[in-house]
Structure 1
Amino acid sequence: MSDRHTGDAAALLRRHRAVLPEWLALYYDEPLEITHGEGRHVWDAEGNRYLDFFGGILTTMTAHALPEVTKAVSEQAGRILHTSSLYLSRPMVELAERVAALSGIPDARVFFTTSGTEANDTALLLATAYRRSNQILALRNSYHGRSFSAIGITGNRSWSPTTLSPLQTLYVHGGVRTRGPYAALDDAEFTEACTADLVDMLGQTGGDVAALIAEPVQGVGGFTSPPDGLLAAFREVLLEHGILWISDEVQTGWGRTGEHFWGWQAHDQAGPPDMLTFAKGIGNGMSIGGVVARAEVMDCLPANSISTFGGSPITMAAGNANLNYLLEHDLQGNARRVGGLLLERLRAASAGLGVVREVRGRGLMAGVELADPHTGDPSPKAASLVLEAARERGLLIGKGGGHATSSVLRIAPPLSLTVAEAEEGAEILEQSLRSADNELGGESAQ
């Protein structure tokens, strides 16, 4: 890799800090300007090439500069860029038909937004209007977006800047399998304990609860997930009370977990959710989000509404082309096969390293939880060390985690990742983990 320490990057960083908020996070001690990409690789302003294992936060789902998507965007841009939802839109209807059919929700209706945050906002609006209640159940360690209402149901202190909220949120156990009071239980006992906790909480609430919102795999929380079937057990309890189930599929949708097209399908014993929200990957970088809901829920609003930018012709063209490519090339199957290989390699690479507490994940959605080798406490320092070391070796990854720390490496490459690229990335991660372990005085330093 060539030298990255140039005046141009430093000047751009100064300009960034002069006009943008302090709380707008940037990765790396010397932040990176990405100028272009192709396939699973991106380049910075200095011409350095990186293998991309984060995809702009799980958003570049198929590949950078995918010809089918760029062609669809270019052709649509040559016709018309924008009309708004006040007019009929063929690309929007076509994508809505396909998403409704793929969702598994009967008599489904689709509303398009511009982000996952906005999608979750809409789902909360629908649920509270339908149930005439502002009480929401959410999982501990959850994250559902950065808007005022989404922050109000976020069970992750690192991403909750205010306690004010239009909602009354009740947090239940279940999102984190290996920490907390039920961690020592086996999967069946864990599910039983979390369900009993839910029943107990509902027995103490005043009024009707509107909905449970849950990520099947918690994204910002560090790619944690409950045992398969836990949300189905929750669903049985919810149905007794008429409470809706919202599955937040912003990060888990479109086959990324490999095993299923949607994350909720790992818990499908009780059938599909009442609503699911999506975003990120479907647009492959274009701003698309949305909600799928049963017609009676979607149509419950007693007032008019529109979306100025949701469902725009150009983003819908991109979404249709991207979905075509995903399905025609069986990228869900690729996520299962190559993701399984990557997870196996990461577990082997982490063996004997005191800095690694756990390697977990599904498909091309892997989390490596890091800890202080001496105390076992979550270690944001270790995560930062690995993040920087991987970049120096030509690999981009993410980080996240709960407990007010970012101590988990988040690994989520485009779903077209090849076996050779998975091996290359795993080798870089092994070197970077060993480097961090050495620096922190772990076993590899002995």
Structure 2
Amino acid sequence: MTNDLLGRHRAVLPDWLALYYEEPLEITHGEGRHVWDAQGNRYLDFFGGILTTMTAHALPEVTKAVSEQAGRIIHSSTLYLNRPMVELAERIAQLSGIPDARVFFTTSGTEANDTALLLATAYRRSNTILAMRNSYHGRSFSAVGITGNSGWSPTSLSPLQTLYVHGGVRTRGPFASLSDDAYIAACVEDLKDLLGHTRAPAALIAEPVQGVGGFTAPPDGLYAAFREVLHERGILWIADEVQTGWGRTGEHFWGWQAHGRNGPPDIMTFAKGIGNGMSIGGVVARSEIMNCLDSNSISTFGGTQITMAAGLANLNYLLEHDLQGNARRVGGLLIERLRAVAAQVPAVREVRGRGLMIGIEITKPGTDEADPQTAAAVLEAARAGGLLIGKGGGHNTSSLRVAPPLTLNVAEAEEGAAILENALRSIR
């Protein structure tokens, strides 16, 4: 049946629509931190639909909220008052840390970043955008135009002029050998030099932890230092929290808070985990930025009652059960366990991350050269052992991505680490 479905998939869907595994997987159902395929095989899920099933598969509180809302009304568009949308916007505005915040809901992180770019360029009357090397911001025409990871940017055509800033990858590039303080100082000088050669940009957009890029991050405080330079010139800071938000990094609720010395960003985008699988994205911005558009707009599917009900239930569960704290505790144990394993596997260059957002960089032993074939082999071996993980990378790197639902317990973390250990040792 799976082979038949694969043939049908290839017959009607684009060639560039990526599928994992030599024998692609059809997931039929899930519960907690586990999913099952069409053959009845059970897997521990350490990727959660690309960090989207943030809390748990089939979380009763979310499925109940969706079912009850579906029995009332599913959708009416933003042309009508929508109580669940207002309630979730109130919660997110308060949690964002942005003063006098306004919230606009979209259907995805791509659309959220697209909206943030629209707001920033309209507010600043500039189509120049600063973005980070190795970054990823989505699949729309504007989002691929600012994405700094060439593997996910299929065209150089763009309505925006994009200039790429150094600093998102700590252990590679010309400043890798510096101390954290010296690294930040060098990146700030690089930013100042770049700004001296261009008209005033609208904004810098940055992921606090680069997701598709392999869960790479700068030293804490880099974006705070950047913001001092940007603020002097009136340039906005957009924090892309599509993958880092909602406590996944453990230490902070938002990724920007690791760089929050000078306050919150001007604009923040979110998506993925808040819906626990339902399609929710959004933008938070100061009111004068959000309200700068001088034409009418709506969102047909952003903020539908059914997705907002799911988001509210999921956010309540996350906060009431301190899943940020769980990510910090269980994630810390998992990272240390994986680092102990990696120390004995020459192909692992680095285990990095925080909370339940962990990257394992694979290279040819003794070098910094990417080894995507070996990374793919580990992905396959992990699946054979009953574990689903992800892939990523940029800067000519190949990385494995580990991002389980935030309800992961210690026993499941140990089980997953043991499977990953066997998978990594199988490539020696």
Q: Is the 8 A contact 2:370 2:396 kept in 1?
A: no
Match of 1:260 among 252, 266, 290: 252
Match of 2:404 among 408, 413, 416: 413
Match of 2:171 among 172, 178, 182: 178
Deviation string, structure 1 residues 306-362 (Cα, Å, up to 9, x no partner): 000000000000000000000000000000000000000000111121110000001
Unaligned runs of 5+ residues in structure 1 are 1-7, 439-446
Match of 2:243 among 251, 254, 259: 251
SS state at 1:125 partner: helix
Partner of 1:232: 224
Q: Is the 8 A contact 1:138 1:155 kept in 2?
A: yes
Match of 1:21 among 14, 32, 37: 14
Is 2:51 aligned against 1:58?
yes
Two-structure CA RMSD over aligned residues (Å): 0.7
Amino acid at match of 2:235: I
Amino acid at match of 1:308: T
Alpha-carbon distance between aligned partners in 2 of 1:433 and 1:352, rounded to the nearest angstrom: 10
Give the drift of 1:373.
1.5
Q: Is the 8 A contact 1:157 1:404 kept in 2?
A: no
Alpha-carbon distance between aligned partners in 2 of 1:203 and 1:48, rounded to the nearest angstrom: 57
Q: With structure 2 as the length reference, what TM-score do the two structures score?
A: 0.99
Partner of 2:122: 129
Q: Is the 8 A contact 1:156 1:404 kept in 2?
A: no
Partner of 1:144: 137
Q: Is the 8 A contact 1:158 1:404 kept in 2?
A: no
Amino acid at match of 1:290: G
Deviation string, structure 1 residues 20-51 (Cα, Å, up to 9, x no partner): 00000000000000000000000000000000
Amino acid at match of 1:324: N
SS state at 1:236 partner: helix
Amino acid at match of 1:435: S
Partner of 1:120: 113
Alpha-carbon distance between aligned partners in 2 of 1:144 and 1:20, rounded to the nearest angstrom: 23
User: Structure 1: which 4+ aligned runs deviate by more than 2 Å?
Assistant: none
Match of 1:34 among 27, 33, 36: 27
Give the drift of 1:264.
0.2
Deviates more, 1:377-386 or 1:111-120: 377-386
Partner of 1:444: none
Alpha-carbon distance between aligned partners in 1 of 2:29 and 2:341, rounded to the nearest angstrom: 31
SS state at 1:277 partner: strand
Q: With structure 1 as the length reference, what TM-score do the two structures score?
A: 0.95
Match of 2:419 among 428, 431, 434: 428
Alpha-carbon distance between aligned partners in 1 of 2:402 and 2:81, rounded to the nearest angstrom: 39
Alpha-carbon distance between aligned partners in 2 of 1:403 and 1:388, rounded to the nearest angstrom: 23
Alpha-carbon distance between aligned partners in 2 of 1:352 and 1:103, rounded to the nearest angstrom: 41
Superposition pairs of residues 24-423 of structure 1, within 5 angstroms:
24-205=17-198, 207-373=199-365, 375-405=367-397, 407-423=398-414
Give the drift of 1:363.
0.1
Question: Aligned residues: percent identity?
Answer: 80
Amino acid at match of 2:24: P
Alpha-carbon distance between aligned partners in 2 of 1:288 and 1:363, rounded to the nearest angstrom: 23
SS state at 2:102 partner: strand
Deviation string, structure 1 residues 366-406 (Cα, Å, up to 9, x no partner): 0000011154411101110000000000000000000355x
SS state at 1:209 partner: coil
How many aligned positions are there? 428
Alpha-carbon distance between aligned partners in 2 of 1:375 and 1:208, rounded to the nearest angstrom: 40
Deviation string, structure 1 residues 38-79 (Cα, Å, up to 9, x no partner): 000000000000000000000000000000000000000000
Alpha-carbon distance between aligned partners in 2 of 1:423 and 1:257, rounded to the nearest angstrom: 19
SS state at 1:352 partner: coil
SS state at 1:152 partner: helix
Amino acid at match of 2:72: R
Amino acid at match of 1:224: T
SS state at 1:250 partner: coil
Q: Is the 8 A contact 1:120 1:144 kept in 2?
A: yes
Amino acid at match of 1:432: A
SS state at 1:32 partner: coil
Q: Is the 8 A contact 2:47 2:401 kept in 1?
A: yes
Alpha-carbon distance between aligned partners in 2 of 1:26 and 1:366, rounded to the nearest angstrom: 22
Alpha-carbon distance between aligned partners in 2 of 1:382 and 1:397, rounded to the nearest angstrom: 14
Amino acid at match of 1:355: A
Alpha-carbon distance between aligned partners in 2 of 1:434 and 1:167, rounded to the nearest angstrom: 45
